[in-house]
Amino acid sequence: MLHKPFILRQLTRSRKQATVFVLCVVLSIVTLIALNGFSMSVHDSLLKDARTLHGGDIIIRSHSPLSKPLKDAVASLAKRGLVESARYYELFSVVRTAGDASSLLAILKIVEKPYPFYGNLQLQSGRAFHEVLTRGSVIVEQGLLDRLHVRVGDSLGIGSAALTIRDVVEAEPDRPVNFFSLGPRVFISTEDLEGLDLVKAGSRIEFVDLLKVHDPKKLDRITGELKAVAEKAAQERVDTFMTESSGVKKFMDNFLFFLSLIGIFTLLLAGFGIQSALAAFLKEKEKTIAIMKTVGATSRFIMAQFVAVLCVLGLMGTIAGLGLGFLLQHFLPALFKELLPQNVHLIVSWRAVLQGLLLGVFVVALFAFLPVYRLRDLKPGAIFRKEDPRIERSLPYLLTISTILLFFIGMVLWQLQDLKVGLWFVAAVAGLIAAVAVITQLVLFFLVKSRVKALAMRQALKGLFRPRNATRAIIITLTASLSVIFSITLIEGNLDAAFVSSYPPEAPNVFFIDIQPGQLEDFSRALGIKTRYHPIVRGRVTSINDEPVDPDKEREKRGDNLSREFNLTYREELLEDETIIEGKSLFRNDWHEPQVSVMDTVVKMKPLRVGDRIVFKIQGIPLYARVSSIRSRTGEHIQPFFYFVFQTEILKDAPQAVFTAVRMDKEAISPLQNRIASRFPNVSIVDVTQTIAVFSKVMHKLSRITRFFTSFSIIAGILILVSSIFATRFARVQEAVYFKILGARRVFVLKVFTLENTLLGLISAVLALLVAQTGSWIVCARVLDVPYRPFIGTSSLMVAATLLLVILAGLLSSRSILNRKPAAFLREQTEE
């Protein structure tokens, strides 16, 4: 059935179209292969190093001192020789130089021997950690020395104590990435804990107990025991080194999740490229197919030959895609530098290889089906007569489109493992492509009707509508991919302008955290700024309407969820920028039970209505409250807000700290920080503008990475452009030859082709900018609530870069056409 010489020669004769087809297959899978493989490598590394990453086998975390039952359970295990335990405390605090000349927000880690159980803390001196960290000593990060201009041996004021810097930490195994930290690390021994006087009721401290399990086989049993005890108190979380999700892992999960969306978007556009390149490839073969049918070949026979050709090309593309995907994977650690631990080992995951192979085969089969199926309907007579065969939107066509859509949805859901987000994403992409398609059709409609006087431009315009020119497909693909890149750039620029370059003038820029209630009066005097003080009580939601909240299930959700601790507060009135959207007032006078007003953000985590019952746990003590109202923020003012607001009488006696946020001149922040830190050492002071600078750095890095991956989708558009030029090669050569015969110079022909590509690039870039400006405005103005700037300069640069890319790609592909001699071409036509 297979005609081997014919198949082989199809592969070698149409090298250009075959190459474009193979490149499209490569493109469709390379980003997903790279990302999936990289993701597996990261997970594998983090899992392998999980013990080191967490410092122990079992990790018990709490925002308040461990409950007695859990303390007793741990003590009992230790007594039985099953575990060894080490405690540490982690908190923010302002550290001061001698004489309070300068101060800095730092992250304190107050540790007891033998922390950590796994991994080594490397010190600049090369000495052992616990040899250096004795009572009265601190070990700090180099960053602290640089920012406070101090040295080893100098004294630091921390809380109520003065401690001496003894060494510098160079590597901290359970803090592999410090990209996101708000301050440098300071290690202190638990022997100084009391002297610091920082552990107060309501303070924001993380209490961590690390356990080393002597018999690894008993790990799960011991963890289960401790979990059962912790569940009753509902204030501690017990995890093993395998189940504990580190900040790094959570961040990478979410970011790689987002990038995989880009990978799927690229796959879809590359799929269009596959279809377009294949259609062009088969169009070149129409005459051959007609001849074969003339001598009696059946459609089945013909399709079998071309399916064989496709299998070879598809396999080449899939293997190349796999190879390039693995290569790209090696480049990713450099791209993700500072976001990942240094010791991420890249692995060759056979699962990823198999997934890649299956994906490549499926993508080719899906997008190649229609062009191959249409071979059935090719009639020899029509081809020899050069009639353009009518493409009927028959059942196979509709079935193929439906299958492509279902495949796309399936891919999204498989990658994302989240139905809601997946469907939103599919709807967004479908909406984007549909909108772009409609606008493109309108633009082309007006273009075809336009009357242009200049000859070269007129010919260029006609060229856009040349038969078999994939003008529409090129514009749609380029516009869709460019609009994503343009949008990322515009949104990043606007966030930068709104928060980094010019922080909103009315927004508070200094936060004061962990003010003790007893300090309030003195603090207020020392601050000297009229401000609102918010009491904060830490608590968790344990059940809603008698349905317990499952923290593990909640943690699986993307975005905010009910598994975490919340900052509860109390007051009797609404804030200036709050409004009640359900209920009559903040609290009801006709109810005689504890009430809580809930922010609409909570309702998004779990449906709630006025009258519903919530049970909170505050330091192990349950608190029942009834939902009295649901609030929303108007966004008129930028100020702190709280998800749960109670009546004063309910929480006023609970362990609490106080928080406030003020707006100050930048120059006044540092002197105030020094003054407050020396008088109230337990108060943490956060300079928000500095914090935002840290996040801005993160944002820029993430945007760069996202743009890198999105640029692959632009390649899909360029490949369709190149394929289209190859497909219309004969017509272009004919035009060029006729122009020359009629007296035009080579430069005229070059001008016409350049103008044609300029039009393509300009239409794509301008449409993309239009879509991007609209989308970015919606995101900035409606979602992020920041003023919008169109960034004309940057927009113009993006359009110019696109134009250059399209013109270059178009001209490079048309080189040989320009050099064709008229006589040779005409001779060939006569002979045929």
Partner 1 sequence: MKIVEALEVTKTYTLGERRIRVLDEVSLSVADGEFVVVQGSSGSGKSTLLSLLSGLDKPSSGRVLLGERDITDLSEDELAPLRNEAIGFVFQSFHLVPSLTAIENIMFPAELRQDRDAQARAEGLLGRVGLRDRSENFPHQLSGGEKQRVAICRALINNPKIIFADEPTGNLDSLNGKAILDLLFDLRKEGRSTLVLVTHSLDIARAADRVVLLRDGKIEDEKPDAS
User: Beta 621-633 vs 595-599: how paired, if at all?
Assistant: parallel
Closer residue to partner 1 in complex, CB, 521/831: 831
SS3 (DSSP) at 454: coil
Q: Is 609 in the site for partner 1 (CB under 8 A)?
A: no
Q: Is 746 in the site for partner 1 (CB under 8 A)?
A: no
Q: Is 3 in the site for partner 1 (CB under 8 A)?
A: yes
Q: Is 5 in the site for partner 1 (CB under 8 A)?
A: yes
What is the closest distance, in whole angstroms, from the C-beta atom of residue 734 to partner 1 in the complex?
17
Sign of the CA dihedral running 332, 338, 341, 342 = positive
Place of tokens 């207020």: 524
Q: Is 385 in the site for partner 1 (CB under 8 A)?
A: yes
Task: Report the C-alpha gap between 369 and 756 in whole angstroms.
Answer: 31
What is the closest distance, in whole angstroms, from the C-beta atom of residue 291 to partner 1 in the complex?
5
Closer residue to partner 1 in complex, CB, 127/379: 379
Q: Which of residues 261-290 bind partner 1 (CB under 8 A)?
A: 287-288, 290
Tell me which H or E stretch contains 642.
none
Binding region for partner 1 (CB under 8 A) out of 6-14, 237-245, 676-684, 735-743: 6-14
Question: Are the beta carbons of 653 and 517 closer than 8 angstroms?
Answer: no
What is the closest distance, in whole angstroms, from the C-beta atom of residue 377 to partner 1 in the complex?
8
Half-sphere exposure of 396 (CA within 13 A, CB side): 14
Q: Is 299 in the site for partner 1 (CB under 8 A)?
A: yes
Residue 278 CA to its chain's centroid (Å): 33
Binding region for partner 1 (CB under 8 A) out of 98-106, 143-151, 295-303, 512-520: 295-303
Closer residue to partner 1 in complex, CB, 18/412: 18
What is the closest distance, in whole angstroms, from the C-beta atom of residue 387 to partner 1 in the complex?
7
Q: Is 410 in the site for partner 1 (CB under 8 A)?
A: no
Which two structure tokens, joined as six digits, stand for 646?
A: 């109670």
Of the residues 262, 292, 474, 718, which one makes contact with partner 1 according to CB under 8 A: 292
Closer residue to partner 1 in complex, CB, 667/832: 832
Of the residues 80, 295, 449, 592, which one makes contact with partner 1 according to CB under 8 A: 295
Of the residues 547, 653, 665, 831, which one makes contact with partner 1 according to CB under 8 A: 831
Question: Are the beta carbons of 15 and 309 closer than 8 angstroms?
Answer: no
**Backbone torsions φ then ψ of 346, nearest 5 degrees:** -80, 130
Q: Is 449 in the site for partner 1 (CB under 8 A)?
A: no
Q: Is 303 in the site for partner 1 (CB under 8 A)?
A: no
Task: Report the C-alpha gap between 511 and 624 in whole angstroms.
Answer: 30
Task: Report the C-alpha gap between 135 and 153 in whole angstroms.
Answer: 14
Task: Report the C-alpha gap between 603 and 631 in whole angstroms.
Answer: 10
Task: Report the C-alpha gap between 216 and 214 in whole angstroms.
Answer: 6
Task: Report the C-alpha gap between 309 and 79 in whole angstroms.
Answer: 72
Which two structure tokens, joined as six digits, stand for 726?
A: 């190859």
What is the closest distance, in whole angstroms, from the C-beta atom of residue 802 to partner 1 in the complex?
34
Closer residue to partner 1 in complex, CB, 13/652: 13
Q: Which of residues 7-46 bind partner 1 (CB under 8 A)?
A: 9-10, 13
Q: DSSP label at 806? A: H
What is the closest distance, in whole angstroms, from the C-beta atom of residue 24 to partner 1 in the complex?
23
Binding region for partner 1 (CB under 8 A) out of 306-314, 382-390, 585-593, 787-795: 382-390
What is the closest distance, in whole angstroms, from the C-beta atom of residue 299 to partner 1 in the complex?
6
What is the closest distance, in whole angstroms, from the C-beta atom of residue 472 to partner 1 in the complex?
19
Of the residues 381, 607, 622, 671, which one makes contact with partner 1 according to CB under 8 A: 381
Closer residue to partner 1 in complex, CB, 389/611: 389
Report the Cα–Cα distance between both ends of the chain, in Å, rounded: 30
- 702 vs 179, 338, 528, 788, CA distance in Å? 12, 11, 40, 21
DSSP string for 259-299: HHHHHHHHHHHHHHHHHHHHHHHHHHTHHHHHHHHHTT--H
What is the closest distance, in whole angstroms, from the C-beta atom of residue 388 to partner 1 in the complex?
9
SS3 (DSSP) at 587: coil
Place of tokens 């709104």: 498
Residue 803 CA to its chain's centroid (Å): 28
Q: Is 558 in the site for partner 1 (CB under 8 A)?
A: no
What is the closest distance, in whole angstroms, from the C-beta atom of residue 470 to partner 1 in the complex?
20
Closer residue to partner 1 in complex, CB, 12/589: 12
Ramachandran class of 746: left when φ > 0, alpha when ψ lies in -120 to 50, beta otherwise = alpha
Q: DSSP label at 100? A: G
Residue 678 burial (CB count, 10 A): 14
Closer residue to partner 1 in complex, CB, 589/830: 830
**Cross-strand partners of 371:** none
Of the residues 6, 179, 251, 708, which one makes contact with partner 1 according to CB under 8 A: 6
- 405 vs 264, 381, 591, CA distance in Å? 12, 35, 53
Of the residues 255, 258, 301, 695, which one makes contact with partner 1 according to CB under 8 A: 301
What is the closest distance, in whole angstroms, from the C-beta atom of residue 380 to partner 1 in the complex?
5
User: Beta 103-111 vs 185-189: how paired, if at all?
Assistant: parallel
Q: Is 296 in the site for partner 1 (CB under 8 A)?
A: yes
Binding region for partner 1 (CB under 8 A) out of 204-212, 384-392, 503-511, 809-817: 384-392
Q: Is 731 in the site for partner 1 (CB under 8 A)?
A: no
Binding region for partner 1 (CB under 8 A) out of 118-126, 383-391, 514-522, 751-759: 383-391
Instruction: Please tell me the count of residues contacting partner 1 according to CB under 8 A.
Output: 31
Of the residues 124, 134, 254, 294, which one makes contact with partner 1 according to CB under 8 A: 294
What is the closest distance, in whole angstroms, from the C-beta atom of residue 796 to partner 1 in the complex?
41
What is the closest distance, in whole angstroms, from the C-beta atom of residue 389 to partner 1 in the complex?
11
Q: Is 297 in the site for partner 1 (CB under 8 A)?
A: yes
Of the residues 380, 396, 551, 822, which one makes contact with partner 1 according to CB under 8 A: 380
Question: Are the beta carbons of 566 and 612 closer than 8 angstroms?
Answer: no
Of the residues 124, 338, 384, 800, which one makes contact with partner 1 according to CB under 8 A: 384
- 93 vs 148, 489, 514, 688, CA distance in Å? 15, 36, 10, 15
Closest of 283, 301, 100, 90 to residue 203, by C-alpha: 90
Q: Which of residues 360-379 bind partner 1 (CB under 8 A)?
A: 376, 379
What is the closest distance, in whole angstroms, from the C-beta atom of residue 13 to partner 1 in the complex?
5
Q: Which of residues 76-105 bind partner 1 (CB under 8 A)?
A: none
Of the residues 124, 245, 254, 298, which one makes contact with partner 1 according to CB under 8 A: 298
Of the residues 131, 387, 552, 556, which one makes contact with partner 1 according to CB under 8 A: 387
Residue 828 burial (CB count, 10 A): 10
What is the closest distance, in whole angstroms, from the C-beta atom of residue 50 to partner 1 in the complex?
58
Closer residue to partner 1 in complex, CB, 745/827: 827
What is the closest distance, in whole angstroms, from the C-beta atom of residue 251 to partner 1 in the complex?
55
Rg (CA), the chain: 33
User: Beta 578-582 vs 657-662: how paired, if at all?
Assistant: unpaired
What is the closest distance, in whole angstroms, from the C-beta atom of residue 819 to partner 1 in the complex?
19
What is the closest distance, in whole angstroms, from the C-beta atom of residue 823 to partner 1 in the complex?
17
Question: Are the beta carbons of 490 and 787 closer than 8 angstroms?
Answer: no
Instruction: Write out 515-566 in H/E/C secondary structure.
Output: ECHHHHHHHHHHHCCCCCCEEEEEEEEEEECCEECCHHHHHHCCCCCCCCCE
- 404 vs 174, 311, 506, CA distance in Å? 45, 19, 50
- Judged by the rule CB under 8 A, the positions of this chain that interact with partner 1 are 3, 5-6, 9-10, 13, 287-288, 290-301, 376, 379-382, 384-385, 387, 830-832
